[in-house]
Amino acid sequence: MTQRPTVADGTPFVHVARQPIFDSTGDVVAYELLFRGRMDAVDAEARDSYATSQVMVNTFTEFGVDEVVGDRICFINLTREFLVGELPLPFAPDQMVLEVLETVAVDDDVVKGVATLVESGYRIALDDFVLGSGHERLLAYASYLKLDLLSGDLSHLDQIVELCRAWPGIQIVAEGIETPDLLKLCDSYGFELRQGYVLSRPQTLTTVSLSPSRLRQLELIGVLSAPETDIERVREIVTGDPALTIRVLRASNSAMVAPQTRISSIRQAIVMLGLDQIRQWAMLMAVADAADATEAQMIEVLTHARLCVNLAPTFDVDPDGAFVAGLVAAVAPILGMSPTTLAHHLPLEADIAAALSRGVGPYGRLLRTVEVYQRGDLAELAATYTGADLTGKMIEAMRWARIS
């Protein structure tokens, strides 16, 4: 796999591109999500299972789907492996449209897989539909049919439109609209949805990523694949890797999981997502991740979070909440964010979020104490901490971080 571009300290960038899909009045109603290996890439460069896995992982666990598409639906290209169930779809169907790529050979297994996805509530789009390609077998399951007006063969356009209109539940998405004449063609045929450069080019979104340890991912998959899963062991593995922790928090923040639920512990986030979805995300991450985060960064973040846990009784706060607060505070600068910004994108309980954004409350005092201790400001530390053996608690945190 191609190594991700990195910033100076070795932390990788991740990218996802989105191209708007408009209705006939010019309103954006959806986005197609596209793979980008580089920030300056203008084309997908890859449309295989690795590319699809990266788009999913980046959208849901690096950015957060609400940041990428808001409340609009998103179209994601799927390869055969996803359609027949060999690779998982670890998200609910509400906001998603699954595009069957034109390169997929439609056989009985694909038809069966698509039927199962539709029964589960997913909507299907047939990408770059070509008459006689065999994709006619999927028309009964499709909600959208995409026609390439720029590169496609338009000699059979009337026949394709007539065939499509025989299925009232299908909307036509005209793509490749790069000239005003093609836009007029959409109007003349009454195509419901439109996509192309004359309307809007794809926009590449970029953020800094912390990639989970491959060993942790494989360990997590193994534990989750056991006949009887120990949820406490799952929690230990997730909390032992800051990148996994942030990804679980972001996945649990998906509007398709539990939009009104705020969490105060990693265990709560795991329970809310469910072990099946955690397993599916872990499998998808193993396919998608091309680089590991630096060990030094992980140890620093874990030490910070563990020290917060060790000091939790002094500040009369929940140790699980202290771990979450400490981890988010330590991860934010590595991701190029403020704790306020990162907390805004995570489903944290109000007191933890307030501590991260405004430094208030007992969690805020805890975070401030850890910050001034690690900075070596003894004068301010004396004003914020009245407990004993802070050095011993720090040594224990460092030891725990190195063996986690």
Ordered structural domains, the chain, with CATH:
13-207 (3.20.20.450), 211-404 (1.10.3210.10)
Give the pLDDT score at 171.
96
pLDDT of residue 289: 53
Q: Residue 324, Cα to own-chain centre: how many angstroms?
A: 19
Dihedral of alpha carbons 87, 91, 94, 97, sign: negative
Share of the chain above pLDDT 90, in %: 32
**Core vs surface per residue 212-233: b (16+ CB within 10 A) or e:** bbeebbebbbebbeeeeeeeee
Low-confidence ranges of the chain (pLDDT < 50): 1-9, 39-45, 255-256, 258, 290-293
Alpha carbons 34 and 167: distance in angstroms, whole number: 28
For 397, the token pair is 């945190």
This prediction has a pTM of: 0.62
Q: Which two tokens stand for residue 404?
A: 């986690």
Q: Where are the beta strands (DSSP E) in 262-394?
A: none
Taking the mean position of all CA atoms in its chain, how far away is CA 21? 21
Alpha carbon of residue 367 to chain centroid? 28
Q: How far, in Å, CA of 85 to CA of 82, rounded?
A: 5
Between the CA of residue 333 and those of 130, 169, 395, what are the distances in Å?
49, 48, 23
Look up residue 43 and give its DSSP letter: S
Helical H segments across 48-91, by residue range: 49-57, 65-69, 80-83
Q: Which residues contact 139 (CB under 8 A, 6 or more apart)?
A: 126, 145, 163, 164, 167, 170
C-alpha pair distances (Å), 306 with each of 12, 98, 181, 324: 25, 41, 62, 10
> What are the DSSP E strand ranges found in 170-324?
171-175, 193-194, 203-208
Cβ-count burial 292-308 (b if 16+ within 10 Å, e if not): bbbeebbebbbbbbbbb
